[in-house]
């Protein structure tokens, strides 16, 4: 805590001064306004030297004691670990004889960071991860069971010939890959490991950079392709390489030059990102975002080591014991222990959220918002404020988040108690086109009950309440809607959390953005218009007026850009879904390897091109599963698609058959 009448001093331990002694840390409120540090007694048994390939380091089982000590075993056996309940990450490296401080400042915890809210509030499911990489990957082994996960680390290098260990992949929910920059640079330059560590300092001009990137690309592509062959289709997360934490050339020169190490590492990370995009179960995790979020200067080792090492600060003082000036403990100097636990926890929060995005349980497809004191500040019809006062600060941030949600393929709607025409006019005046009626699939602006209006919106878009989020500044309105629709998701938190919720919550994210995503608002609005027109004409006249065109495509492989949309549609459709099965990438691949085929349908009418809207999976004579987008119910696409799928099944078996399983939502 900082006393109100005290002077805040910033410690200079991270920026070495050329003169003067390093300031000591205050140890009492009277010294510097800081609390007395909590004493943590740490008992560590550390192995000297790096772990040998094939030896796994394991995170603690959530069901067992949370204390740990690092006790290496022989190759192929499990190393057990215990730790103090406060994460200290002593398992990250062997200490090489380095001094272990007997007193340590209190570790930073996740509660000190403004993490994004979770919509469901449910406990995270238990998950197991396989970590493959060198020291920077090993640092991710969690030291506490806070997130209900288990992780096993195997030492795997990033050379082209580096094999994947022979493990039981069936034990794991996902794989995390750490790419070692030194190994990529060694391949790219053809030099020794130590010589390649000086690569960035030797780059003279843009031509040198282009030559380096050109050399790195096939190495990364081949390494990622090899891992895809060796790993069994599990969701796999490739961590980015740590970017340099500052400009090595100096504060005033070269920051954005092509030869800047920061820019070069970003380009190498882009190569990894692009290589991952070639495989539907491979994903990229930008670890640099997490470093910036938690505190890069306390964690990254390029204050001491070369940029190519790109890892976590660790004490190697045991190698320097013979020096005239005894070595300091760098982990203590940079307060690494205080921050590393939060870095690791944040990483796993993001990866677990990513798994929830890949296989969603209750994804948010529609956000319904109020207007007064929600989309803008205050009540527009009653108080006289300038337009900039209504939107400056959190309101425009909220609007930007809504538009990014729309860009992902989510839908927006308005439910507000107001006069319709005058409110639309005020919306135009306040936001001047930043957001407007065309961004919403439905706008219910009247004096009716909000619960009734939301019921109408749900009928229009044909969504289940559980896939809808309602945001309103008035708790009474939220209570009324929640009573009417118990499964509809209502956010009751602070308005300062709305933006983070929409942008960061797993339920509001999608695994990919397709062409259909970009036009979903227009296609759903067209659905509403079609429904309204259908009430004033016979079904035959109505269908004929729409000029509906259905295209059928038959695929027997997972390759192709259309298959990403097929995979997404199967795994997120609830209502028109014959059995509700959610496919893993491995199941999807195995289905086609066994001779299965996919029949998918695209539909367009005179108003909009809906893209891929239906899928039937055919295995032998069985219609294994059929799904249809709610946006095209009643247009007959399912008849055409089902007819083609049935013919394929009858060509393979004496009879075609399928089944419908009641999921409670279909």
Same domain, 383 and 290: no
Give the structural domain span for 410: 366-510
pLDDT digits (tens, 9 = 90+) for 62-78: 433 333 333 233 333 33
| Highest mean pLDDT of the ranges 9-23, 45-59, 152-166 | 152-166
Residue 73's Cβ-side half-sphere holds a number of Cα atoms within 13 Å equal to 12
DSSP code of residue 197: T
Listed residues 306, 328, 358: the one ending a domain: 358
**Confidence check: pLDDT of 41 > 80:** no
| pLDDT reported for residue 27 | 41
Q: What is the pLDDT of residue 526?
A: 80
pLDDT at 232: 85
3-state helix, strand, coil in the chain (%, to 5): 40, 15, 50
Q: What b/e sequence results for 313-350 when a residue is b if at least 16 CB atoms lie within 10 Å of its CB, and e otherwise?
A: bbbbbeeeeeeeeebeebbbbbbbbbbbbbbbbbbbbb
C-alpha radius of gyration, the chain, whole number: 29
- Alpha-carbon separation of residue 30 from 22, 25, 36, 39, 478 (angstroms): 20, 12, 10, 19, 48
Q: Are residues 80 and 143 in the same domain?
A: yes
354 and 495 assigned to the same domain: no
Percentage above 90 pLDDT, the chain: 56
Q: Which of 2-16, 283-297, 370-384 has the lowest mean pLDDT?
A: 2-16
Whether residues 417 and 552 fall in one domain: no
- pLDDT surpasses 90 at 393: yes
Residue 87 has pLDDT above 80, yes or no: no
- My answer on whether 27 and 81 are in the same domain is no
- Answer whether residue 628 is part of any domain: yes
The bridge status of strand 56-58 relative to strand 489-490 is: unpaired
Query: CA-to-CA distance for 482 and 486, rounded, in angstroms?
Result: 5
- Residues 417 and 446 sit within 8 Å (Cβ to Cβ): yes
Q: What is the CATH number of the domain that holds 641?
A: 3.40.630.30
Residue 456 has pLDDT above 90, yes or no: yes
For the cut 70, the answer to whether the pLDDT of residue 23 exceeds it is no
Give the contacts of 656 (CB within 8 A, at least 6 positions apart).
Answer: 621, 622, 623, 646, 649, 650
Task: Label residue 421 exposed, middle or buried (CB < 10 Å: 0-12, 13-18, 19+).
Answer: exposed
SS3 of 518, please? helix
DSSP state of 372: B
> Which residues of 324-429 form beta strands (DSSP E)?
366-369, 411-417
Amino acid 124: pLDDT: 80
Task: Give the rounded percent of residues in the chain with a pLDDT score beyond 70.
Answer: 80
How many folded domains does the chain comprise? 4
pLDDT at position 120: 65
Token pair belonging to 410: 């989510």
| For residue 3, pLDDT beyond 50 | no
Of residues 438 and 632, more confidence is placed in: 438
Does residue 381 lie within any of the structural domains?
yes
Predicted pLDDT at 663: 85
Range with the poorest average pLDDT among 219-228, 474-483, 516-525? 516-525
Confidence band, pLDDT 50/70/90 cuts, at residue 34: very low
Tokens 């900082």 belong to which residue?
Answer: 2
The answer to whether residues 167 and 299 belong to one domain is yes
Q: Which residue has the higher pLDDT, 316 or 367?
A: 367
CB distance 318 to 331 below 8 Å: no
Compute the distance between CA of residue 21 and CA of residue 31 in angstroms, rounded to an integer. 17
pLDDT tens by residue, 199-254: 999 999 999 999 999 999 999 999 999 999 999 889 999 999 999 999 999 999 98
Neighbours of 557 (CB within 10 A): 11
Residue 85, pLDDT > 80, answer no
pLDDT recorded at residue 385: 82
The CA distances from residue 241 to 137, 207, 266, 376, in Å, are: 11, 23, 8, 40
Which range, of 62-66, 257-261, 602-606, averages the lowest pLDDT? 62-66
Kindly state the DSSP code that residue 439 receives in the 8-state scheme. Answer: G
Q: How many CB atoms lie within 10 A of CB 393?
A: 11
Mean pLDDT of 358-369: 92
pLDDT at 535: 63
529 part of a folded domain: no
Do 151 and 222 fall into the same domain? Answer: yes
CB contact at 8 A, 160 and 187: yes
| Residue 374 pLDDT grade (very low, low, confident, very high; cuts 50, 70, 90) | very high
The answer to the question of residue 516 being in a domain is no
Q: For 142-151, 418-427, 648-657, which range has the lowest pLDDT when averaged over its residues?
A: 142-151
19, with CB counted inside 10 A (0-12, 13-18, 19+), is exposed
Cα first-last separation, the chain = 54
End position of a domain, from candidates 483, 510, 537: 510
**pLDDT score recorded for residue 113:** 61
Contact between 57 and 141 under an 8 Å Cβ cutoff? The reply is yes
In a domain, 526, yes or no: no
Q: Is 24 domain-assigned?
A: yes
Domain check: are 353 and 382 in the same one? no
Confidence tier at 117 by pLDDT (50, 70, 90): low
pLDDT: is 559 or 189 the higher one? 189
Q: Are residues 186 and 313 in the same domain?
A: yes
168 domain-assigned:
yes
Report the alpha-carbon distance of residue 337 to residue 182 in Å, rounded: 25
Task: Examine the pLDDT at 133 and tell me if it is beyond 90.
Answer: yes
Give yes or no for residue 272 having a pLDDT over 90. Answer: yes
Work out the mean pLDDT of the chain and round it to a whole number: 82
In sequence order, what are the beta bridge partners of 175? 130, 236
Same domain membership, residue 333 and residue 374:
no
Cβ density class 198-219: b for 16+ within 10 Å, e for less? ebbeebeeeeebeebbeebbeb
**Model pLDDT, residue 544:** 80
**Domain boundary at 297, 326, 358, which?**
358
Instruction: State the Cα–Cα distance between residues 529 and 298, nearest whole angstrom.
Output: 57
> CA 474 to CA 513: how far, in whole Å?
33
DSSP H helical segments within 432-581, as ranges?
450-461, 475-484, 498-504, 515-518, 520-534, 539-546, 561-572
Residue 523 lies in a domain: no
Band of residue 144 on the pLDDT scale cut at 50, 70, 90: low
Whether the per-residue pLDDT at 37 is higher than 70: the answer is no
Top-confidence range, 410-414, 533-537, 541-545, 657-661 = 410-414
pLDDT band at residue 541 using 50, 70 and 90 as cut-offs: confident
Statement: residue 88 has pLDDT above 60? no
Long-range contacts of 167-171 (CB under 8 A, 24+ apart): 167/56, 167/130, 169/130, 169/231, 169/232, 169/234, 171/128, 171/130
CATH number at residue 493: 3.40.50.1000
Q: Are residues 343 and 486 in the same domain?
A: no
Are 572 and 491 contained in the same domain?
no
Q: Which 8-state DSSP code applies to residue 76?
A: T
The average pLDDT across 610-619 equals 92
Label residue 111 exposed, middle or buried (CB < 10 Å: 0-12, 13-18, 19+): exposed
Instruction: Give the tokens for residue 11.
Output: 């410690």
Mean pLDDT to the nearest integer, 579-588: 87
Which pLDDT does position 53 carry in this prediction?
45
Q: Which of 263-272, 543-552, 645-654 has the highest mean pLDDT?
A: 263-272
For residue 540, is pLDDT > 80?
no
Cα–Cα distances in angstroms (integers) from residue 395 to residues 378, 399, 413, 495, 643, in the given order: 10, 6, 17, 9, 50
Residue 372 pairs in a beta bridge with 376
């Amino acid at each position: 805590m900082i006393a109100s009448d005290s002077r805040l001093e910033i410690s200079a331990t991270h920026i070495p001064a050329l003169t003067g002694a390093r300031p000591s840390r205050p140890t009492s409120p009277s010294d510097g306004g800081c609390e007395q540090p909590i004493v943590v007694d740490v008992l560590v048994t550390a192995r000297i030297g790096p772990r040998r390939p094939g030896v796994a380091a394991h995170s603690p089982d959530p069901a067992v004691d949370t204390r740990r000590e690092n006790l290496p075993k022989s190759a192929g056996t499990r190393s057990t670990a215990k730790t103090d309940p406060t994460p200290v990450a002593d398992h990250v490296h062997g200490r090489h004889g380095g001094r272990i401080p007997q007193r340590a400042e209190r570790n930073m915890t996740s509660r000190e960071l403004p993490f994004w809210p979770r919509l469901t509030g449910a406990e995270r499911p238990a998950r197991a991860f396989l970590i493959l990489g060198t020291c920077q990957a090993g640092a991710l082994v969690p030291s506490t069971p806070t997130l209900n996960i288990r992780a096993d680390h195997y030492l795997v290098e990033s050379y082209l010939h580096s094999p994947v260990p022979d493990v039981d992949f069936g034990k794991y929910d996902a794989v995390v890959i750490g790419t070692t920059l030194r190994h990529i640079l060694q391949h790219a330059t053809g030099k020794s490991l130590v010589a390649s560590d000086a690569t960035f300092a030797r780059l003279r001009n843009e031509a040198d950079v282009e030559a380096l990137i050109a050399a790195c690309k096939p190495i990364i592509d081949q390494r990622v392709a090899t891992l895809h062959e060796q790993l069994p289709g599990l969701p796999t997360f490739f961590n980015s390489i740590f970017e340099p934490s500052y400009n090595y050339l100096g504060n005033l020169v070269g920051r954005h030059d092509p030869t800047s190490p920061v820019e070069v590492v970003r380009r190498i990370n882009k190569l990894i990102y692009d290589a991952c995009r070639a495989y539907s179960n491979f994903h990229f995790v930008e670890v640099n975002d997490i470093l910036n979020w938690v505190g890069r200067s306390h964690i990254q080792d390029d204050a001491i080591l070369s940029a190519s090492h790109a890892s976590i600060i660790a004490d190697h003082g045991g190698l320097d014991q013979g020096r005239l000036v005894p070595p300091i403990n760098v982990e203590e100097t940079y307060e690494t222990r205080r921050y590393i636990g939060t870095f690791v926890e944040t990483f796993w929060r993001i990866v677990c959220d990513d798994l929830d995005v890949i296989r969603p349980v209750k994804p948010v497809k529609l956000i319904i918002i109020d207007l007064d004191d929600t989309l803008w500040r205050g009540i527009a019809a009653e108080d006289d404020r300038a337009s900039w006062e209504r939107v400056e600060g959190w309101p425009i941030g909220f609007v930007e988040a809504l538009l990014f949600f729309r860009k992902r393929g989510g839908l927006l709607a308005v439910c507000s108690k107001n006069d319709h025409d005058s409110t639309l006019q005020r919306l135009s005046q306040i936001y001047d086109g930043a957001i407007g009626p065309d961004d919403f699939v439905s706008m219910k602006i009247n004096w009716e009950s909000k619960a009734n209006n939301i019921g109408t919106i749900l009928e229009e878009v044909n969504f289940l309440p559980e896939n809808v989020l309602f945001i309103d500044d008035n708790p009474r309105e939220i209570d009324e809607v929640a009573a009417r629709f118990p499964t509809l998701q209502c956010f009751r938190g602070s308005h300062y959390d709305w933006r983070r919720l929409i942008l960061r919550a797993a339920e509001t994210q999608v695994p990919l953005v397709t062409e259909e995503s970009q036009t979903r608002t227009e296609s759903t609005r067209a659905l509403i218009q079609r429904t309204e027109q259908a009430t004033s004409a016979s079904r035959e006249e109505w269908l004929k007026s729409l000029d509906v065109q259905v295209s059928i495509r038959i695929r027997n492989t997972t390759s192709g850009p259309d298959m990403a949309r097929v995979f997404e549609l199967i795994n997120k459709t609830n209502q028109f879904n014959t059995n509700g099965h959610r496919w893993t990438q491995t199941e999807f691949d195995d289905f086609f390897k066994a001779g299965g085929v996919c029949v998918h349908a695209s539909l367009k009418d005179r108003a909009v091109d809906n893209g891929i809207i239906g899928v039937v999976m055919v295995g032998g004579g069985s219609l294994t599963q059929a799904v249809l987008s709610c946006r095209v119910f009643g247009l007959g696409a399912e008849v055409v698609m089902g007819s083609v799928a049935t013919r394929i099944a009858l060509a393979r078996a004496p009879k075609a058959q399928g089944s419908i399983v009641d999921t409670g939502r279909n």
